[in-house]
């Protein structure tokens, strides 16, 4: 009898007990069937490659190893898939500002509005053009009909006034 024929005889005569053995480890009949089928393929290849002294013992070892590997894989899959989405979403920081941050920002905005209202008109326009409009000092100077140096001074003075006003009200 050939080695493959002997391996097939060992497998067929012990198949039912191998499935029972795998079912005990995996807890599932269908998984046990799959494990034993995979074990047969590995066992057949091993028998074709080398002569085994205890083929039945080797076959049981393959079934055991595959069943344990299957349990590990299933447990890992469950741990990856059974994530509590609600729990995770509460741990992720929100991009939205908190109510406290909104209140602080509104308060500071009101302070800046008040401070800008206290500035002379030309200084207020220069600060608004620079900070809110994104205009360069040269553009501000051209719009107001003043030198670039004076535009710089107006913007710097206006910003300094807003900072002092904000710090005074804290």
Closest CA to 47 of 1, 8, 104, 86: 8
Inter-CA distances, 147 with 33, 134, 137, 151, Å: 89, 18, 9, 6
Q: What is the pLDDT of residues 18-35, one digit of tens each?
A: 999 999 999 999 999 999
Q: What is the pLDDT of residues 106-162, one digit of tens each?
A: 988 888 888 889 999 999 999 999 988 999 999 999 999 999 999 999 999 999 998
List phi, psi (to 5°) of 163: -65, -45
Residues of the chain with CATH 1.10.10.10: 99-168
Residue 95 is encoded by which pair of tokens?
């991009």
For residue 76, name the pLDDT band (cuts at 50, 70, 90).
confident
Question: Cα Rg for the chain, rounded, in angstroms?
Answer: 40
Topology given in CATH for the domain delimited by 99-168:
Arc Repressor Mutant, subunit A (1.10.10)
Burial of 34 (0-12, 13-18, 19+ CB in 10 A): middle
List phi, psi (to 5°) of 90: -75, -15
Q: Return all residues near 111 (Cβ < 8 A) that are at least 6 apart.
A: 162, 165, 166, 169
The Cα–Cα gap between 26 and 28 comes to 5
Q: Answer yes or no: are the C-beta atoms of 10 and 54 closer than 8 Å.
A: no
Residue 13 is encoded by which pair of tokens?
């005569």
For residue 86, name the pLDDT band (cuts at 50, 70, 90).
low
The Cα–Cα gap between 148 and 170 comes to 33
């Amino acid at each position: 009898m050939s080695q493959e024929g002997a391996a097939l005889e060992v497998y067929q005569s012990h198949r039912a007990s191998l499935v029972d053995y795998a079912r005990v480890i995996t807890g599932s009949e269908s998984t046990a069937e799959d494990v034993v089928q995979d074990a047969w393929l590995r066992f057949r290849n091993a028998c074709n490659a080398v002569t085994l002294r205890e083929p039945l013992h080797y076959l049981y070892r393959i079934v055991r190893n595959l069943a344990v590997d299957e349990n590990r894989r299933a447990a890992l899959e469950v741990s990856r898939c059974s994530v509590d989405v609600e729990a995770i979403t509460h741990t992720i920081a929100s991009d939205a500002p908190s109510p406290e941050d909104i209140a602080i920002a509104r308060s500071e905005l009101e302070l800046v509005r008040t401070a800008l209202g206290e500035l002379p008109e030309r200084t207020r326009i220069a600060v608004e053009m620079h900070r809110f409009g994104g205009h360069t000092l040269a553009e501000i100077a051209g719009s107001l009909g003043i030198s670039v140096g004076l535009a710089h001074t107006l913007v710097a003075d206006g910003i300094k006034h807003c900072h002092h006003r904000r710090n005074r009200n804290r």
